[in-house]
Chains A and B, each alone.
Chain A
């Protein structure tokens, strides 16, 4: 325990941990943001349009069964050992689940709410942006809360396998030097990051549902 605390202090003071953490953080944020935006957009389109649903459901269901890290060998060939690789892995692990979570949220929107918005003059675009997405937001936030953890885990694995920076790389390097203390530091930081993001989404979700009076 003392060794771990000592290593943590040393890694922070030297800036090594901060640098590796920032590398992972940027990858997670970029990949997760892009994956979530794309997932929500496709999920809304699938929920709103039968044509989109019919034309994408099968392929997305097949993609859903493939774990994000299973793409790494293929992505190494396609992208190479570049910065884009872990971002693409995080994107893939966020995109597909968010599609299905959003689809469920959109389908849960009260039909009468949509009908009233239509009678008040909402065109398709307005209906989606001002009614459907905000109404589905609690479901989407629940999904983001779960998927952010998966994003961190996938990024960590991608860095272990194919990158020369990031928390995953740091853990792998420590493993080759049998530095258990450093490995424990990296996984602890990973867990703490995951917790902080989940807490953030949890608070956002609570804030929204409380404001709307959905919870006491």
Chain B
């Protein structure tokens, strides 16, 4: 059977030659750290951002088809419900645009409301719904147009554990009932426990690993996906004394532990300073993100093509956004993943 959705050598500001296939009627999970290009990949499939390369639906390119004609069901991370419409109007929106008879629209809305247990909420506005209810409305709205593919961006975000499990059950039952090709994006592999399908790991805009979800989730790569500092190693050079020099997309990293497919550096180990570092694995970078974590601060530092994540214990001394800094990856902190 032809793959339902295929990305072939897709390039843009966030994707660096992304290739993957989502099988017809199955779940495909796009995994990877923040900034890996997962959301951009969904937007590419929906036709919402510019790209080079090709997107194929059932083997046919859809690159020239605008988003309003691609028939893709999109559920963004923040759900993007139409706050000025009732639940009923939200679900019916795509159907009304297709100028279907009122009776058909009503029937379809009721069918979806029944399927997703929204019947009692049809006349409410999104502002009056719980997180789980809002999530179901967004899915119902996306399903109303009978999409060729359903795209879910971090659907479990902002849901408590109970709502997350309920949503998983909904997704599984929808999958069985509608035989949907569903592409689900997440950075948290642990959220997917209980789901089955193909997993594609994205790092820096490229698919670095593919396989059944259960295999990926149990791999060291899967376990480390939550961290941002994961690099695919391309070229190796042995330096002697057990040291290896790996080239990771322009970033040269010296480490111990032999040749590896990926290098991972925990954010807490990445040193950032306004003064230059001496020794190996020292780079110059620019602060592109500052996020307060209470007593600590999370910095995102652009080093070449990479974004490094660093957690600093002392927020008061942290550099500010846009500031030029020096970064060091202590050799002993670099973990080689095979």
Q: Verify if B78 is at the interface (C-beta below 8 Å from A).
A: yes
Question: B128's contact among A134, A135, A213, by CB below 8 Å, is which?
Answer: A213
Which of A51-59, A115-123, A169-177 lies on the face that meets chain B? A115-123
Question: In the complex, are the beta carbons of A212 and B127 less than 8 A apart?
Answer: yes
**What is the distance, in angstroms, from B100's C-beta to the closest C-beta of chain A?**
11
Question: In the complex, are the beta carbons of B80 and A134 less than 8 A apart?
Answer: no
Question: In the complex, are the beta carbons of A121 and B74 less than 8 A apart?
Answer: no
A112 and B97 in contact, given A118-B68, A135-B84, A213-B83 (Cβ under 8 angstroms): no
Interface residues of B in 51-65 (CB under 8 A from A): none
A131 and B128 in contact, given A121-B68, A122-B68 (Cβ under 8 angstroms): no
A115 and B76 in contact, given A211-B125, A212-B83 (Cβ under 8 angstroms): yes
Question: In the complex, are the beta carbons of B67 and A115 less than 8 A apart?
Answer: yes
Q: Verify if B145 is at the interface (C-beta below 8 Å from A).
A: yes
Question: In the complex, are the beta carbons of B74 and A115 less than 8 A apart?
Answer: yes
The interface bits of chain B over 255-288 (1 if a CB of A lies within 8 angstroms of the residue's CB, else 0) are: 0000000000000000000000000000000000
Contacts of B66 in A (CB 8 A): 118
Chain B, interface SS category = mixed
Q: Verify if A126 is at the interface (C-beta below 8 Å from B).
A: yes
**What is the distance, in angstroms, from A213's C-beta to the closest C-beta of chain B?**
2
Question: In the complex, are the beta carbons of B97 and A121 less than 8 A apart?
Answer: yes
Q: With A and B bound together, what is the CA distance between A120 and B81 in angstroms? A: 12
Q: Verify if B141 is at the interface (C-beta below 8 Å from A).
A: yes
Question: In the complex, are the beta carbons of B80 and A213 less than 8 A apart?
Answer: no
Question: A119's contact among B46, B78, B82, B83, by CB below 8 Å, is which?
Answer: B46
Question: A122's contact among B43, B77, B97, by CB below 8 Å, is which?
Answer: B97
Contacts of B170 in A (CB 8 A): none
A110 and B80 in contact, given A115-B48, A121-B68 (Cβ under 8 angstroms): yes
The interface bits of chain A over 127-141 (1 if a CB of B lies within 8 angstroms of the residue's CB, else 0) are: 000110011010000
Q: Verify if B73 is at the interface (C-beta below 8 Å from A).
A: yes
Q: With A and B bound together, what is the CA distance between A121 and B93 in angstroms? A: 9
Question: In the complex, are the beta carbons of A121 and B98 less than 8 A apart?
Answer: yes
Question: In the complex, are the beta carbons of B46 and A115 less than 8 A apart?
Answer: yes
Contacts of A112 in B (CB 8 A): 76-78, 80
Q: With A and B bound together, what is the CA distance between A137 and B43 in angstroms? A: 27
**What is the distance, in angstroms, from B255's C-beta to the closest C-beta of chain A?**
40
Chain A, interface SS category = helix
Q: Verify if B232 is at the interface (C-beta below 8 Å from A).
A: no
Contacts of A126 in B (CB 8 A): 97
Question: In the complex, are the beta carbons of B126 and A213 less than 8 A apart?
Answer: yes
Contacts of B155 in A (CB 8 A): none
Closest to A111 in B: B80
Q: Verify if B32 is at the interface (C-beta below 8 Å from A).
A: no
Q: Verify if B328 is at the interface (C-beta below 8 Å from A).
A: no
The interface bits of chain A over 205-216 (1 if a CB of B lies within 8 angstroms of the residue's CB, else 0) are: 000100111100
**What is the distance, in angstroms, from A10's C-beta to the closest C-beta of chain B?**
48
Q: Verify if B335 is at the interface (C-beta below 8 Å from A).
A: no
Contacts of B67 in A (CB 8 A): 115, 118-119
Closest to A136 in B: B84
Closest to B76 in A: A112
**What is the distance, in angstroms, from A20's C-beta to the closest C-beta of chain B?**
40
Q: Verify if B70 is at the interface (C-beta below 8 Å from A).
A: yes
Q: With A and B bound together, what is the CA distance between A121 and B72 in angstroms? A: 9
Q: Which B residues are closer than 8 A to A by beta carbons?
A: 43, 46, 48, 66-70, 72-74, 76-78, 80-84, 93-94, 97-98, 125-128, 141-142, 144-145
**Top-5 shortest CB links A-B:** A213-B127, A120-B94, A112-B80, A112-B76, A134-B84
Known: A122-B97, A126-B97. 19 other contacts (CB 8 A): A113-B81, A115-B67, A115-B74, A115-B80, A116-B76, A118-B48, A119-B46, A119-B48, A119-B68, A119-B70, A120-B94, A120-B145, A122-B68, A130-B93, A134-B84, A135-B84, A137-B84, A212-B125, A213-B83
Q: Which A residues are closer than 8 A to B by beta carbons?
A: 110, 112-113, 115-123, 126, 130-131, 134-135, 137, 208, 211-214
28 contacts between A and B (CB under 8 A): A112-B76, A113-B80, A113-B82, A115-B46, A115-B48, A115-B67, A115-B80, A116-B74, A116-B141, A117-B82, A118-B46, A118-B67, A119-B67, A119-B142, A120-B93, A120-B97, A120-B141, A120-B142, A120-B144, A120-B145, A121-B98, A126-B97, A130-B93, A134-B82, A135-B84, A212-B83, A212-B84, A214-B127
